[in-house]
Structure 1
Amino acid sequence: MFESADFSIKPTLTGAKVLLRPFIPEDLDAILAALRDPDVRRLTGSVHEESTEPVPEDPAEHERLRDWYATRETQPDRLDLAIADIATGRCVGEAVLNRWDPGNGSCNFRILIGPDGQGRGLGTEATRLIVGYGFEKLGLHRISLEVYAFNPRARRAYEKAGFRPEGVLRESLRYGDEWIDATVMSILSREWAEHHGHPA
């Protein structure tokens, strides 16, 4: 049953605040800006030392990421969608279902929201849209994620969309002189069917 999930279709998903859609070349600058933002890099566990300075532009990285995002539409085992702010039409991040396990009907979820898209509920809505698509159209059984202990804002957004904590990966990230735990969270298809991303 789970093997029939069709990741080759790259949908456009419309919410009240965000539009999830396939990437276009014009999105790259927004994605690069988000990936270079010091706070985004810290919260995603991309760095191990504190820095308040944006990462300098690197032409080689720009080229690599341009090639990466140009191939997202042809991936048969994952779904990468740009998050566009409906108010401005601009890309503010990405929502991804990856690590497809057909035997178990499961995927990993990750999301990246740059500074221009934070603090307005765009991430919660984008999470609900792509998770709903995963369960209702792809027929997934389970979607999971990991969130670091120093990112309570993201954890709250995931909880609002129906993710539940499962356990803790102790000291899974070294950041400066500290070890940071990560919480594993998941949502199951039967839970989604009960609340559609709006748990009580």
Structure 2
Amino acid sequence: MQLETFARHHIADMLDWFPTAEGLTQWGGPGLRFPLDETQLDEMQASTFGDAPARWMFAGIVDGNLAGHAQVALDWENGIGRLSRVAINPRFRGQGLAHPFLQQVIDHVFADARFERLELNVYTFNTAAIRTYLKLGFIEEGVRRSSAKVGTIRWDTAIYGMLRSDLAAEREA
């Protein structure tokens, strides 16, 4: 998988990735409107410009096709990136692409010496994602119980983190 900056021409390829409101919420959080549309992705992408953008957006490309998407919200003052909105194109799932894609995203974040920490939130029922995050070296730091209301149910959110020193220690081992 090749890592690229997510671009406007990738938007149309993502619009059918989340066929349910729950699936969209699982990916993007409770603040998104179902169905996902170009306007919402345009708004996200608008925050990627400037000297200190609010986020980076990544595309994972396989054979010229959009196979993955991830975002990192950027806290420049504190040197923290928050990995979010990670998804593998449904047509590419089950091929083991999440790990190499996210490893490239992690490497990109820590290539910038201003970032000391990368963190993420994941709903606790998303065991496949959690397995991937653990294999990448993230450490569970806690659970925010009943943190998201989705329809009439509530979801718990686990918090995972990785420090620059964690990544260095893992690579030395």
What TM-score bracket applies, with the shorter chain setting the length? 0.7 to 0.9
How far apart are residue 166 of structure 1 and its match?
0.2
Q: Does 1:115 align with 2:90?
A: yes
How far apart are residue 117 of structure 1 and its match?
2.6
The 8 Å contact of residues 148 and 182 in structure 1, kept in 2 or not, is answered as yes
- The alignment yields a C-alpha RMSD, in angstroms, of 2.7
Q: Aligned residue for 2:164?
A: 189
Normalised by the size of structure 1, how large is the TM-score? Answer: 0.71
Q: Aligned residue for 1:31?
A: 14
What is the rounded CA distance, in whole Å, between the counterparts of 2:10 and 2:77 in structure 1?
34
SS in 2 for 1:74: coil
What pairs with 1:35-50 in structure 2 (closer than 5 Å)?
A: 36-38=18-20, 40-44=23-27, 46=29
What is the rounded CA distance, in whole Å, between the counterparts of 1:169 and 1:135 in structure 2?
26
| Residues 8-50 of structure 1: CA deviation (Å, up to 9, x unaligned) | xxxxxxxxxx11112344312222122x332632532646xxx
Q: Which moved more, 1:125-134 or 1:110-119?
A: 110-119
The 8 Å contact of residues 132 and 192 in structure 1, kept in 2 or not, is answered as no
Check 1:137–1:166 CA distance in 2 against 1; reply closer, same or farther (3 A cut).
same
SS in 2 for 1:125: helix
What pairs with 1:145-160 in structure 2 (closer than 5 Å)?
A: 145-160=120-135
SS in 1 for 2:115: coil
What is the rounded CA distance, in whole Å, between the counterparts of 1:45 and 1:23 in structure 2?
16
Q: Does 1:82 align with 2:59?
A: yes
Check 1:69–1:170 CA distance in 2 against 1; reply closer, same or farther (3 A cut).
closer
Q: Aligned residue for 2:99?
A: 124
What is the rounded CA distance, in whole Å, between the counterparts of 2:59 and 2:99 in structure 1?
14
What is the rounded CA distance, in whole Å, between the counterparts of 1:157 and 1:182 in structure 2?
16
Normalised by the size of structure 2, how large is the TM-score? Answer: 0.81
What pairs with 1:67-106 in structure 2 (closer than 5 Å)?
A: 67-68=42-43, 71=46, 74-75=49-50, 76-77=52-53, 78-85=55-62, 88-98=63-73, 100-106=74-80
How far apart are residue 178 of structure 1 and its match?
2.9
Q: Aligned residue for 2:137?
A: 162
Looking at both structures, which has the greater relative contact order when contacts are Cα pairs under 8 Å and sequence separation is at least 6? 1
What is the rounded CA distance, in whole Å, between the counterparts of 2:100 and 2:68 in structure 1?
13
Structure 1, unmatched stretches of 5+, are 1-17, 48-54
Corresponding residue pairs, total: 167
Structure 2, unmatched stretches of 5+, are none
SS in 2 for 1:129: helix
